[in-house]
Amino acid sequence: MVDVVYEDNQILVVVKPQNVPVQLDDSCDKDFLTILKDYLIEKYNKPGKAYLGLVHRLDRPTGGVMVFAKTSKSAERLSKQIRENEVDKYYLAVVDGIPRYKQSRLVNLLKKDEKNNIVKIAPQYEDGAKEAILDYQLLETKNDKSLINIQLETGRSHQIRVQLANIGCPLCNDQKYNPNSKKGNLALWAYKISFNHPVSKKRFTFKVAPPIDVNPWNEFNIEKYI
């Protein structure tokens, strides 16, 4: 079942489930892009294959709102917006601990260990390291946990998880970067995206709440911030 937020003849805005890869990976689990193409084929009774342009990504354990392009021209225009930082992407996260500052900009160099699928903070000028930038705002604290709003400026793999862990506030249920992690879905959700429609140029904003009845989201008044 595909959770469609908005659809027209140029774009498809949907909710990505957690723990589903956006694209085919080494696990060979069915990926979200294939699921969506199957949805289009079935809905419009398309013969053969359906086109769907992937213009941005979410890590496998992260859920939330995504936009896809239904034409190559729209894919090109949306990708251009992303390259030029005209697409605003916001996340909600629940972390262990309380950040030292209520709001701050985090700038780090990150390097991915492809073999072990781990991202680490890299020393300056290390080969292969890429700059990662995000802004965060502390929204609420409870029981030594914090609800945080994040705006990404860059979109590096595992970026939010690594940068928040680096300031002593790892994400709840993060099996990779939180040594005190409990079992459960990663407490990270892409809740808002804003972009210009690739044809009409109208500014669109879509919001989707995380699963607010599930721990640790249910410890906070999530609806107040959506």
Angle at 36 between CA 31 and CA 42, to 5 degrees: 130
Residue type, 150: I
Cβ distance 101 to 136 under 8 Å? no
Q: What is the DSSP letter of 45?
A: T
Does residue 59 carry a catalytic annotation? yes
Catalytic residue among 59, 113, 144, 174: 59
Residue 64 Ramachandran class (φ > 0 left, ψ -120 to 50 alpha, else beta): left
Residue 134 · residue 106 · CB < 8 Å: yes
Note the maximum CA span of the chain. 56
Cα(140)–Cα(159) distance, integer angstroms: 22
Please name the amino acid found at residue 167. Answer: I
Instruction: Please identify every residue annotated as catalytic.
Output: 59
